[in-house]
Amino acid sequence: MSEDRIYKSEDGGKPFRFNGNVARVFPDMLRRSIPGYTASIDAIAALARRHVQPGTRCSDLGCSLGAATLAMRRGIVAADSEIVAVDLAPAMVSRCREIVDDDSGTVPVSVMEADIRDVPITNASMVVMNYTLQFLPLESREPLIRQIREGLVDGGILVLSEKVAHSDREIDELMIELYHDFKRSNDYSELEIARKRTALENVLVPETVEDHLCRLNDAGFSHCDVWMKHLNFVSVLAIR
């Protein structure tokens, strides 16, 4: 696994992009940057085992290198199901295809290079968006959530994981500081933390948990709630 030292050399002046440099170190970046990431991936496999229905499709929207895709593939026991993994970044898609091809799972997987807003969701029993919605413009988020809800079969689920803000300013500032402590404990320097935060400004735009739950309820999901939280990173489960 290549070590993430991108912001030792890059100054954060350019907006963060999912380019070849990021693809090369992405597993290490996720491990050291997202608290609870491994647990959330393992949980996706467990959800796939319980909720993927025979003859349906699963979608991994913003699949990056395919961790959630492979988790679903490990968990699925339903017959005649398939997975569609979608990402807009060519470097991510190329590496994801290599990783999927090397995997021994038997559930069919298609990896697409496309904008997730342009990919139809149909006959789906499980959709995963792992830290993806936060990179879309605010005005695109509600239409996409509605599109996903309409494309799910009855009982189908959406797993939505996001970095979040908190409406209470003091709590929000505390969560940010605790998160920076987490990154420091994973050997990111103060300079790397500051530079990456600058690069992500106006690229990753977090919302509150209340914003997400309101949007899911408005879209018509029957049940939705936070089922996993680590500092300012949450995973929401929504059921049609």
pLDDT tens string, the chain, 240 residues long: the values are 799 999 998 989 999 999 999 999 999 999 999 999 999 999 999 999 999 999 999 999 999 999 999 999 999 999 999 999 999 999 999 999 999 999 999 999 999 999 999 999 999 999 999 999 999 999 999 999 999 999 999 999 999 999 999 999 999 999 999 999 999 999 999 999 999 999 999 999 999 999 999 999 999 999 999 999 999 999 999 999
Which of 44, 82, 81 has its CA nearest to residue 158? 44
pTM of the model: 0.96
- The residue behind tokens 């189908």 is 156
Distance, in Å, from the CA atom of 152 to the CA atom of 58, rounded to the nearest integer, reads 9
- Identify whether the C-beta of residue 81 lies closer than 8 Å to the C-beta of residue 73: no
Determine the residue type at 215. R
* 118 Cβ contact partners less than 8 Å away, ≥ 6 residues apart: none
**CB within 8 Å of 147: residues ≥ 6 apart:** 117, 121
**∠ CA 132-160-226 to the nearest 5 degrees?**
140
CA max distance for the chain: 50
